[in-house]
Each structure stands twice: as C-alpha cells, then as structure tokens.
C-alpha cells in the first residue's frame, strides 16, 4: 500500500555548495524520493572540495537507530566525494538538542566538520560564504 508523501524538501547544487531545505515530518515515500535526488546531487560534486548547508524546518527530524545508520552511509559517500564542511540551521525548538546530538555524532563518525546555527546568515559566514 502506498501512502501520500509527508514532508517537503529542496536540494540544489550552487557552485561548490550543496543546499538542502527540509521540512518534516517525513514518511517513507518522501525519504525514498529525497535519497534518490540527494544521490544525484552528490554525484555532481565528485572531485571537488565542497560545502553543505542544511536548513531544517517543521518537526524535529529525530532519527531511529536505522535512520542514523542510513545517514552515516550517506555522509560517508559525501565525504568520499569531497564534502569538507556542513552547516545546519535548525528552525524549530522542540527536540533541538537531541537533533544536534544525533547529527553531530553522525558527522563526527564520518570526519565531517559541522556546526549548528539558528539563522542562515551565521551558517553562511561560518562556511565562508558571506
């Protein structure tokens, strides 16, 4: 049985940066589409030293243990393809500390420098994209 998609996302390659704007909650149908589109975007970044900006909106995207493993696999691919820094903007309050903990742990596991922000301007400054 197929369900309606829940959640929204935008993935864009902008120069040497990968930009993602995600709004949850998400269900399996949208995560499947997201992973396919993200894979295509990552493939465009091969061989370059690139940056990543993620904006998270809506409900906190808490990860199950399986979700953490899927994220780690994706981050390993990104690192292998040249990802050097990841800035995450969290535009929600409830669950923020847990999401920060999970995403930092996954980024650290993959040796990706990451930082978390409340606004896009601060994230871009940290990435060096004033």
DSSP 58-118: ES-----HHHHHHHHHHHHHHHHTTEEEEEEEEE--TTHHHHHHHHHHHHHHTT-EEEEES
Low-confidence ranges of the chain (pLDDT < 50): none
The parent domain of residue 122 ranges over 8-127
- pLDDT (tens digit per residue) in 32-44: 788 889 999 998 8
Residue 1 domain flag: no
Distance, CA of 122 to CA of 99 (rounded, Å):
19
The CATH number of whichever domain residue 71 belongs to comes to 3.30.750.24
Residue 31 domain flag: yes
pLDDT of residue 29: 73
The candidate with the shortest Cα–Cα distance to 57, out of 10, 18, 3, is: 10
Q: How many CB atoms lie within 10 A of CB 99?
A: 19
Residue 22 domain flag: yes
Residue 2 domain flag: no
- What total of structural domains would you count in the chain? 1
Point out which residues pair with 55 in neighbouring strands.
21, 89
pLDDT of residue 3: 57
Residue 59 domain flag: yes
Residue 37 domain flag: yes
């Amino acid at each position: 049985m197929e369900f309606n998609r829940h959640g929204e996302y935008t993935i864009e390659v902008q120069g040497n940066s990968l930009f993602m704007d995600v709004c949850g909650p998400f269900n399996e149908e949208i995560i499947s589409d997201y992973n396919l589109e993200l894979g295509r975007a990552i493939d465009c970044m091969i061989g370059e030293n690139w940056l990543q900006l993620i904006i998270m909106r809506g409900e906190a995207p808490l990860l199950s243990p399986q979700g953490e493993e899927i994220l780690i696999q994706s981050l390993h691919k990104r690192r292998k393809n040249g990802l050097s820094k990841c800035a995450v903007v969290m535009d929600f309050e409830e669950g923020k500390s847990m999401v920060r903990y999970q995403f930092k742990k996954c980024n650290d596991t993959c040796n990706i420098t990451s930082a978390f922000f409340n606004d896009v301007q601060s994230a871009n400054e940290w990435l060096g994209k004033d």
